[in-house]
Amino acid sequence: MKTIALFNIKGGVGKTTSAVNLAYLAAQSGLRTTVWDLDPQGCAGFYLGIDDSELQQRASRLIEGKLGSDELRIASSYENLSVVPADLSLRKLDLMLEKQEAGKNFFKALLKPLDEAQDLAIIDCAPALSRSAEQVFNTADILLVPLIPSPLSLRAYEQLREFTAQKKWSDVKIVRFFTQVDRRRKIQNEILETRKKRFPEMLKTYIPYASALEQMGVHRAPVGTFAASSAPALAYSVMWSEVKRLLKNI
């Protein structure tokens, strides 16, 4: 199983939106895919239509020790696509942290039971350099970082870069991409052009600023299901092809 984590220190940049859309496309392409929601806001599950009442029942079974990691997965209504909702992810993480039985790589241990059942895990992280984020850096094959082309967003990226420059994370592969791109804005255009030249380790595809993505909260579904021919749906589709090629080389 390959693992991609959507991460950025900065909030509201498009981590969850991207996690859900890329996971949907991966599942459509035939990969058994799980979105693992590590953000207490629980938005990934919400976008994939996961019902809160189902969650409550599972959480109590989890606490009683009756639920293993692979069983944390809840099938979505899309073929090949399941979710480990935030509530369950975080409770299980807390339990493991308390016991400390898996030592430093507790998150890796947590993902292990998924290994055989799934081809791809996409982790949706909270916007913070927390302990669980550090574990994710040790686990993910690709750290996928959405960036809005703005000076503040680029500064947050530099902070992440400095943090992950520490030796223990020297293996982490950071891949960035631009999102919420509005080509009518001069500053965005300038950043887009100069950064492309300066940093080749970046996806070629960018996601435009598009209201169809905001509509995901209304439809509680990936953009490809209700606006298949929209610009952002097509952009995510091209981006998925790019990410798939990267995964093949890992």
* 10 counts as binding Mg ion under rule CB under 5 A: no
Q: Which structure tokens are listed for 49?
A: 């239509």
Mark the segment that binds Mg ion (CB under 5 A) among 14-22, 56-64, 142-150, 156-164. 14-22
DSSP one-letter code for 181: B
For Mg ion, the binding residue among 15, 32, 92, 176 (CB under 5 A) is 15
Of 62 and 126, the one with the shorter C-beta distance to ligand ATP is: 126
* 13 counts as binding ligand ATP under rule CB under 6 A: yes
Q: Residue 48 and residue 44: Cα distance in Å, rounded?
A: 6
Distance of CA 171 to the CA centre of its chain: 19
The secondary structure element, H or E, covering residue 26 is helix 15-28
Mark the segment that binds Mg ion (CB under 5 A) among 8-16, 151-159, 209-217, 241-249. 8-16
* 14 counts as binding ligand ATP under rule CB under 6 A: yes
* 180 counts as binding ligand ATP under rule CB under 6 A: yes
How many CB atoms lie under 10 A from the CB of residue 242? 14
* 177 counts as binding ligand ATP under rule CB under 6 A: no
Of 32 and 216, the one with the shorter C-beta distance to Mg ion is: 216
For Mg ion, the binding residue among 16, 21, 28, 89 (CB under 5 A) is 16
Mark the segment that binds ligand ATP (CB under 6 A) among 26-34, 50-58, 98-106, 207-215. 207-215
What torsion, rounded to 10 degrees, do the Cα atoms 14, 15, 21, 24 define? Answer: -170
Q: Which structure tokens are listed for 241?
A: 């092809």
CA distances, 233 to each of 154, 161, 181, 212, 239 (Å): 25, 29, 14, 9, 10
Q: Residue 225 and residue 218: Cα distance in Å, rounded?
A: 13
Of 113 and 127, the one with the shorter C-beta distance to ligand ATP is: 127
Kindly list the residues in this chain that would bind ligand ATP in the complex (CB under 6 A).
11-17, 39, 41, 43, 127, 179-180, 207, 209-210, 213-214, 232
